[in-house]
Structures are given as C-alpha cells and as structure tokens.
Amino acid sequence: MPRIWAVKIGDEKVSIQIGPVKIDDPVILAPMSGVTDLPFRKLVKRSGAGLVVSEMIASEAMIRMSRQSLKMAENVPEEAPMAVQLAGCEPQVMADAAKLNADRGAALIDINFGCPVKKVVNGHAGSALMKDEAKAAKILEATVKAVKLPVTLKMRKGWDQTNQNAPRLAKIAEECGIRMITVHGRTRCQLYNGTADWDFIRQVKEAVKLPVVVNGDVVTVEGAKTALEKSGADGVMVGRGAYGRPWFLNQVIAYLRDGARLPSPAIEAQMAIVLEHYEAMLGHYGTQTGVKIARKHLGWYSKGLPGSAEFRTRINQIADPKVVMETVRAFYEPLIGQDLPERDAPGAGEREAA
C-alpha cells in the first residue's frame, strides 16, 4: 500500500526532508512559466503550501543576469522555503546559474528535464535531455557540486511511449546527488494531451530511495489523494489546479490530512484577494506590463461565476488600472452573500506545468 504522508503518526505528521529543508505537508506549487511569479507565489504560500517554485529560468539568461531572469528569480522571506527552477543544456552554465541563485536566497535549486515546449526542446534543454542520459548526468552532477543547497529534479515519464526512461534517469539522478524527484505523468510527445499516468510514477518511486512527487492533472482534492495512492509518491505538485485559486493547495492539504473539505473563501474575501494580487502585479512589473500580465489571472479568478464571460471581455480592453479595479469591484460586489456552488479548476483543459 502507498504511504499517505498526511496521516499522523503519534503526534507528528510525516513530512519530506530535503537536506536542511523540511517540507511539512508536501503539497507543492508547480513551476509555471508566466504564472508562478513572485506576487502569485507569495499569495499561494500565505494561503497554505508546503513549497513554492519559481517559473522556469534559462540558465544562460541567469548568468548574463538579464533583467527578466533576475525578476523571475526574486524571492522574499514570506515565501520561504522557495525553489528556483533552472533549465539549460550546458553543465557549467547550469552550475554557475545555480551558484547565483544560491547567493540570492533560494532554498532549493530545481532542474528542469520536463518542459516540452519546442523552443526549449530545440535548444536541447527541458525534456530533450531525457533522450541523452549521459549529458543529463553531467548537468545533474555539475549543478549538485556547484552549490551547498539541495538540488532537485523535475521530469516527465520519458520522450515518447517507446522511451519511458524516467525510472532509469531517476536512479542516475540519485547517484549524482539529487535529493528529490518530481515526475509529470506524461511523455514529452504527449505535450499536455491525454491524461497523466499516475500509476507509472510508482516505477520511479520503486527505483530510488529519494522522495518522489507526483505531478499532472491534480485539479481536485480527490484527484490529489488518488494521485498519491496510485503513484505511491511522497508528495503532490499542483499546477493548473491553482489557476485563480491560490487557496487550492491549502484545500488539498486539509483533505489529505484528515478528509476535511475546506470551502473556497467567501466572495467578499475573494474580491479582496483579487485586488491585492492585482496591485502586487502592478508593483512587481510596473503599470504597463502589469496590467497586461494580470488579465489572465483576473480571467481565472472569475471563471465559473455569473457574468464572468462579459467581465473577462471588458477587462481585456481596459488599460487604466484604476478602471480595472473599479470593474473588479463592480463584478464581485453583487455576488456577495449569494449561495454560489464550488467551481472546478479554472485551468481545466489548459496547459499543465512542465
């Protein structure tokens, strides 16, 4: 039987220990490009999450210290512990990028062998590295040796259905000093199609002594429990299930811990969260860029609520942040006090984390 980490043993919960980093309730926010920036990570961590991970950062851009990469790697004490995810195909470049992020306050370095996006794969990074185990090992070893921080790995089942080598690569990673492995239950060639194969991840768990985290299609609290049961994993990583629901990871934690079904915040509280998040994005990116980046988040927050389609159409046409916030209030305030049903994940059917 799989070990469900959330049950209590005596007075203590089972947790994941990654070197000096202890993750109580290991429900982890996945690295998602364009989503898991600092404002969103802070909100998710405050709402309840064991660990949050940055957007995927190109190691080459990191060592050039480009403005965008530095902003993506920015972290604050409120989100600790926080992991920075790096992607790249050159061992020394990955090592140097890891050192930079260690100096900038990251608690963990996560290596991306999972991203299926063409421009990443064509650069021989992300999931392309699952086709070259020798090169993958060099990258893993160089990164581990470069920093005192624990280094973790995120990958897929393999490149395609005929090359599902995640268990073998996991063993290589363990030998290189990797401290935790997350597996998305799809191959690279599946991209985000089909369904995540949680059962397959059990093979990875059985291949190593490291903590293993299951990822892919975790959009309900029941799904999180089933993913753990089928995979035998030690923790669960949530991607699109958190779109527009920064509180979802805490709901997963409560359900895994004792079966409690925490309701979503009341509409008035949701409105306050949306406005806080919006202002944080404006502060993080600047007004012009922040207004544009915030639109997808506002759409996810509103999805499934009465009048949400019209609301999304309107906010996507507004450039003045004050008018946007007035529009947010005008949308949410009439819903306060209404008996609204729980909504499905706003990201259902959309891209999952790499």
Residues serving a catalytic function are 115
Find the distance separating the first CA and the last CA of the chain, reported in whole Å.
Answer: 28
3-state secondary structure of 297: helix
Beta pairing class for 16-18 and 21-23 = antiparallel
Q: Output helix, strand, coil percentages for the chain, rounded to the nearest 5.
A: 45, 15, 40
Distances in Å between the alpha carbon of 150 and those of 81, 83, 167, 170, 340? 12, 10, 20, 16, 44
If one counts every other C-beta atom within 10 angstroms of the C-beta of residue 262, the result is 15
Residue 41 to residue 53: CA distance in whole angstroms: 8
Q: Are strands 181-184 and 151-156 parallel, antiparallel or unpaired?
A: parallel
H helices, E strands: number in the chain: 14, 12
